[in-house]
A and B are shown apart, each in its own frame.
Chain A
Amino acid sequence: MKYLKYYTILITIVSLFNACQSDDSNSEKDFNTDPVENLNKVIETQNSEGYNLAFYSSEKDIQTGSNILIATITKNNKVVIATDLQLSITMYMSSHGHNMSHGAPVTQLTTTKHKGFYEGFIFPTMASNGTSDYWVLRLTATVDKQTVVFESNIEVKQSKDKTITSFNYQDLNYTVALISPKTPKIGLNSSSALLFTTEDHETFKIVDSHTIHIDPRMPSMKNHGSPNNINLTQAVSQGFYTGQLSLTMSGYWKINLMIENSHGTIIKGNPITEEQESSDIYFELEF
């Protein structure tokens, strides 16, 4: 028994050692290998100057809600360095008989540890519908000291779970989008979200200093709730709202939301009570 114990400790130490080693080699590898090796190319477009723009995602397609994308610009199959990247997405709708358009939130592309690869989120608020309702992604960038523009129609699928929702408060339109967990687990999930506002439905700004209250509930279980959630707050200005989402079991969860502004006013949502089983804004997660 005693020897077994020492043996176990020894094994643990050896495996820890191994783990460290492999970690090191991994990070070295990261710089040398293709950063999009295991990702799916979800958008690809070329402009008239012969520059090629590609977006990669760990998902097979772009869905409503948060999508984290890796972008890269190439010319003649060589990655080029871009600066001043400006990303936007716009929905063009004609299915209701008259043409209209509106934007959706994005985060601007930032550099990654791989030269020439940029990372950012887009948050389409609705699914595209063939040629009548479609999203256009626009990117302008400075490449080889000249400004290049890309435009591409993108197909957005309805995500299984509702993870983005919008509301109005005092002439402003707000959008709140769940970023994580993407694949929830039973237990405590670290959770993040972003809160945007817009005046013109075209340019969206991250809202600072609010609090996103979360109350996960299971409607199929008489609104069973899961304890020890931590409401989502910002650590830094213009950063993600982060907190902790607790899920006691697998299944369908409604994450009821309340948005509180910096003055402590609830600007949207309501607490869950016996009579009020749902907030008027919520996310959904099913796993």
Chain B
Amino acid sequence: MAKRIRLAYLCSVLALPLWAQSIQNDSIQELQEIILISNTKNNTPNNPIASIENYLKQAKSIDMIQRGNYAWEPTLNSMATERISLTIDGMHIFNACTDKMDPITSYVETSNLQQASIQSGQQGNHYGPTLGGSIDLQTRRPNFTTSPQWEGNLNLGYETNNQLKTAGIILQYTSPKWYFQTQTTLRDAGNYKAGNRQEILYSQYTKTNASGVLGYSISPNKTLETQVIYDKATDVGYPALPMDVSLAEALITSIRYEVKPLFSFIDNWETKLYYNTITHRMDDTKRPPETIAIHMDMPGWSNTYGLYSSIKSTQKNHHLSGTINSYYNKSLAEMTMYPNNPNEKEMFMYTWPDVHTQYTGINLQDHWEIDKEKSLQITASMGVHANQIKNQIALESLQIFYPDMNNSKTRLLGSAAVNYIIKKSNWNYGVGTALGNRAPSVSEGYGFYLFNSSEQFDYIGNPNLKNEISSEINAFLSYTSPTLSSRLSGSFFHIQHYIIGNIIPELSAMTIGAKGVKQYNNLTYAQLATLNWSNTYKINNQWRFNINIRYNYGEDNDKNHLPFISPLSYGSSITYTKNKLQTSLELQANSTHNSNAQVYGEQRTPSYAILNWNINHSWSVYRNTMTIHCGVSNIFDKYYTTYSDWNSIPRTGRNLSINLQYSW
């Protein structure tokens, strides 16, 4: 991988806050964005105190919907969980919370991860259907070494704003036959304070993450590897929501077998079997009783079994890959409400009706280097997606709305994408087009009175939804010289049968205080577009200047704005690097969100700009390394909220952070 990334340093890199780097190389890699989370040199996390979300949001087309200070929901090209493919090492994991309080990014830690690989649109269909693209979180794993060796990393961090305390340890053993790595990270945070020192109640969290990976070299070209990740978050506050979380627990396991090369014509054959289980419990017992209309328990479970097998081969100037991918997911969620009158029986319903989803698909890719200048990237995939409701009571409750509905539904999914890329000295440019579809998510298809606290509506799923079909065109133009890098890129999506909630006036809300009920339905179409321009200017060996600007657009077929579409956003940074010292000052800003989706209950948010500063330095201590990271974010303690803050919850005010790392 490291070899292939031939540092056509796109400068977005440098613009990025924190210490992550985004690297892009030419040709095939032009279509991919990599966010480095761990330092490849010494295999240690760049800045373990930063959350995974803080790393991801540096990607050009990723935004985060925030419901508090924990478990932000990533969006890619303005599309959230149900429209993008989110995987961990190619493994499908599905959140267990009906209210999207646990995007799967919340079940890993920065110190688990090597990097995040982001692909826009249908180019991201490698592990399954997507419209907006894919985010694959790739975990850190050691390599075999010629002689046995031990390595380790200890880190401690503190943030002043919410008294976040982090501690982590990584231990690693590598040898010619074996490698082993274990990691534990603890995080504990109190309430954060928005600008003007305003405390945001119920924003605390505690999280433990532990992982282990064990690799065995069967023969020089065959590796067997097993991996376990365990993540447990407790006492997590969601200030933007009416409920908190008492437990979010995940166990993620896999066995991987890799052969490279196999015979003379297969570069790499990788097969993985995996299983993961998630338990999620919402909790309202910590809130003041007078704010709780009715006490309720809302647990959810998601279990996924899966496998993929992928072959890569190079035939002359064709780089081919073929992947078979299959998973089986069970999603169940229920709600029990306790009436204020103790003589009444408790009230119970299934909010996710034990939906079993099976997907099996095949994906083929050819990266054809036509000549030194021109290349063509072609991907195609096809799969069968089947939902089945296994719980009879839950099925019958949905039949209130759909008396004729069956307990199962099978859909055929497919996608194809073509990108044509030209390199000419300092210039790279390319155009692409794609077509793909996706099946409705469990909530969209089968949700039962799922409360959206931002819109104040209960949502009813719709098993009769049509697949969303996305037609996409994209293009980029980049210029790279030793001093200046500039890249302009954009995508346009025309999504037929766009799935969104419509108010059904005759239905009566279930949630106390809700305005009414919405049912998921297909719009005729919706259109989304995103345009990015990022530039890095290398002033000299020490100084780099970066500026980027992004525009997003999203409208339905009646010219109504869609929700969660970013207003014009821009950022700039200046970075100074000398020896092992690096410091940068960063500006981050949004214009006023005037194109708020009024029809969908979205509020206008004002413009904002904040300044962040950070510095890091490392020393050699004997043969080991000591690194210190310090930073101040939101230096002027600005009180602000953005379009992607649930219920306009304000973001963190001034925050000082310090992190110490010792690696041996």
- Is the pair B396, A250 in contact by a Cβ cutoff of 8 Å? no
- Is the pair B400, A188 in contact by a Cβ cutoff of 8 Å? yes
- Is the pair A250, B506 in contact by a Cβ cutoff of 8 Å? no
Residue of B nearest to A272 (CB): B508
Task: State which residues 249-287 of A face B: CB under 8 Å.
Answer: 249-252, 286-287
0/1 interface trace, chain A 218-237, chain B, CB 8 Å (1 if under): 10111111111000000000
Instruction: Tally B residues with Cβ within 8 Å of A.
Output: 30
CB of A260 to closest CB in B, whole Å: 20
From B102-110, B341-349, B424-432, give the one contacting chain A: B341-349
Residue of A nearest to B507 (CB): A227
- Docked pose: A226 CA to B508 CA in angstroms: 7
- Is the pair B506, A221 in contact by a Cβ cutoff of 8 Å? no
- Is the pair A251, B346 in contact by a Cβ cutoff of 8 Å? yes
- Is the pair A251, B400 in contact by a Cβ cutoff of 8 Å? no
Chain B residues within 8 Å of A250, by CB = 345-349
Which secondary structure dominates where chain B touches chain A? loop
- Is the pair A226, B339 in contact by a Cβ cutoff of 8 Å? no
Residue of A nearest to B343 (CB): A252
- Docked pose: A186 CA to B336 CA in angstroms: 13
A246: Cβ under 8 A from any B Cβ: yes
- Is the pair B345, A186 in contact by a Cβ cutoff of 8 Å? no
CB of A188 to closest CB in B, whole Å: 6
- Is the pair B449, A185 in contact by a Cβ cutoff of 8 Å? no
- Docked pose: A186 CA to B335 CA in angstroms: 13
Q: How many A-B residue pairs have CB under 8 A?
A: 82
- Docked pose: A224 CA to B516 CA in angstroms: 10
0/1 interface trace, chain B 333-371, chain A, CB 8 Å (1 if under): 001010111001111111000000000000000000000
Chain A residues within 8 Å of B294, by CB = 220-221
- Is the pair A187, B349 in contact by a Cβ cutoff of 8 Å? no
A248: Cβ under 8 A from any B Cβ: yes
Task: State which residues 293-328 of B face A: CB under 8 Å.
Answer: 293-294
B399: Cβ under 8 A from any A Cβ: yes
B635: Cβ under 8 A from any A Cβ: no
0/1 interface trace, chain B 449-473, chain A, CB 8 Å (1 if under): 1000000000000000000000000
- Is the pair A248, B396 in contact by a Cβ cutoff of 8 Å? no
- Is the pair B400, A228 in contact by a Cβ cutoff of 8 Å? yes
- Docked pose: A223 CA to B510 CA in angstroms: 9
Task: State which residues 188-245 of A face B: CB under 8 Å.
Answer: 188, 218, 220-228
Task: State which residues 402-421 of B face A: CB under 8 Å.
Answer: 403
Chain A residues within 8 Å of B396, by CB = 185-188
- Docked pose: A11 CA to B345 CA in angstroms: 40
B539: Cβ under 8 A from any A Cβ: no
Chain A residues within 8 Å of B400, by CB = 187-188, 226-228, 246, 248
Chain A residues within 8 Å of B449, by CB = 248
B401: Cβ under 8 A from any A Cβ: yes
- Is the pair A187, B399 in contact by a Cβ cutoff of 8 Å? yes
- Docked pose: A222 CA to B512 CA in angstroms: 6
Give the most central of A220, A226, A250, A252: most B CB within 10 Å. A220
- Is the pair A251, B339 in contact by a Cβ cutoff of 8 Å? yes
- Docked pose: A250 CA to B393 CA in angstroms: 11
CB of A243 to closest CB in B, whole Å: 14
- Is the pair A248, B348 in contact by a Cβ cutoff of 8 Å? no
CB of B226 to closest CB in A, whole Å: 26
Which secondary structure dominates where chain A touches chain B? loop
Residue of B nearest to A215 (CB): B508
B397: Cβ under 8 A from any A Cβ: yes
**Which of A186, A224, A252, A287 is in CB contact (< 8 Å) with B397?**
A186
Chain B residues within 8 Å of A187, by CB = 393, 396-397, 399-400
- Is the pair A249, B349 in contact by a Cβ cutoff of 8 Å? yes
Chain A residues within 8 Å of B349, by CB = 186, 248-250
- Docked pose: A174 CA to B340 CA in angstroms: 34
- Is the pair A228, B348 in contact by a Cβ cutoff of 8 Å? no
Asked if A185 meets B344 with Cβ closer than 8 Å, knowing A221-B337, A224-B508, the reply is no
CB of B328 to closest CB in A, whole Å: 12
Chain A residues within 8 Å of B568, by CB = none
**Which of B340, B399, B448 is in CB contact (< 8 Å) with A220?**
B340
Task: State which residues 479-517 of B face A: CB under 8 Å.
Answer: 506-510, 512-513
Residue of A nearest to B504 (CB): A227
- Docked pose: A165 CA to B389 CA in angstroms: 39
Task: State which residues 377-407 of B face A: CB under 8 Å.
Answer: 393, 396-397, 399-401, 403
- Docked pose: A185 CA to B399 CA in angstroms: 12
Asked if A186 meets B344 with Cβ closer than 8 Å, knowing A220-B339, A221-B337, A246-B400, the reply is no
Task: State which residues 3-59 of A face B: CB under 8 Å.
Answer: none
CB of B51 to closest CB in A, whole Å: 37
CB of B498 to closest CB in A, whole Å: 25
- Docked pose: A226 CA to B449 CA in angstroms: 11
- Docked pose: A228 CA to B510 CA in angstroms: 15
- Docked pose: A223 CA to B513 CA in angstroms: 11
Chain B residues within 8 Å of A251, by CB = 337, 339, 344-348
0/1 interface trace, chain A 164-189, chain B, CB 8 Å (1 if under): 00000000000000000000011110
Task: State which residues 123-178 of A face B: CB under 8 Å.
Answer: none
Chain B residues within 8 Å of A248, by CB = 349, 397, 400, 448-449, 510
**Which of A185, A223, A227, A249 is in CB contact (< 8 Å) with B506?**
A227
- Docked pose: A268 CA to B557 CA in angstroms: 47
- Docked pose: A58 CA to B638 CA in angstroms: 71
Chain A residues within 8 Å of B448, by CB = 248
Chain B residues within 8 Å of A223, by CB = 508
- Docked pose: A250 CA to B350 CA in angstroms: 10
Chain B residues within 8 Å of A225, by CB = 508
- Is the pair B393, A185 in contact by a Cβ cutoff of 8 Å? yes
Chain B residues within 8 Å of A185, by CB = 393, 396
Residue of A nearest to B512 (CB): A222
Chain A residues within 8 Å of B345, by CB = 250-252, 286-287
Chain B residues within 8 Å of A222, by CB = 293, 509, 512-513
- Docked pose: A218 CA to B507 CA in angstroms: 14
Residue of B nearest to A185 (CB): B396
- Docked pose: A108 CA to B211 CA in angstroms: 73
Chain B residues within 8 Å of A224, by CB = 508-510
Asked if A221 meets B403 with Cβ closer than 8 Å, knowing A250-B348, A252-B339, the reply is no
Chain A residues within 8 Å of B513, by CB = 222
Chain B residues within 8 Å of A188, by CB = 396, 399-400, 403
- Is the pair B401, A228 in contact by a Cβ cutoff of 8 Å? yes
- Docked pose: A233 CA to B657 CA in angstroms: 71
- Docked pose: A277 CA to B512 CA in angstroms: 15
- Docked pose: A176 CA to B91 CA in angstroms: 59
- Docked pose: A186 CA to B351 CA in angstroms: 12
Chain B residues within 8 Å of A227, by CB = 400-401, 506-508
- Is the pair A220, B341 in contact by a Cβ cutoff of 8 Å? yes
- Docked pose: A192 CA to B228 CA in angstroms: 56
- Docked pose: A185 CA to B403 CA in angstroms: 15
- Docked pose: A248 CA to B508 CA in angstroms: 11
Chain A residues within 8 Å of B397, by CB = 186-187, 248-249
- Is the pair A221, B510 in contact by a Cβ cutoff of 8 Å? yes
Chain B residues within 8 Å of A246, by CB = 400
- Is the pair B347, A220 in contact by a Cβ cutoff of 8 Å? yes
- Docked pose: A31 CA to B647 CA in angstroms: 67
CB of B326 to closest CB in A, whole Å: 10
- Is the pair A221, B347 in contact by a Cβ cutoff of 8 Å? yes
Chain B residues within 8 Å of A226, by CB = 400, 508
CB of B427 to closest CB in A, whole Å: 49
- Docked pose: A223 CA to B514 CA in angstroms: 12
CB of A90 to closest CB in B, whole Å: 33
11 residue pairs A–B, Cβ–Cβ below 8 Å: A186-B396, A186-B397, A187-B397, A218-B347, A220-B341, A222-B293, A227-B400, A250-B345, A251-B339, A252-B344, A286-B344
- Per CB-CB distance, the 10 closest pairs between chain A and chain B, nearest first, are A187-B396, A251-B347, A225-B508, A249-B349, A220-B339, A250-B348, A252-B344, A222-B512, A186-B397, A246-B400
Given A187-B400, A249-B348, 4 additional A-B pairs, CB 8 A: A186-B349, A186-B396, A188-B396, A249-B335
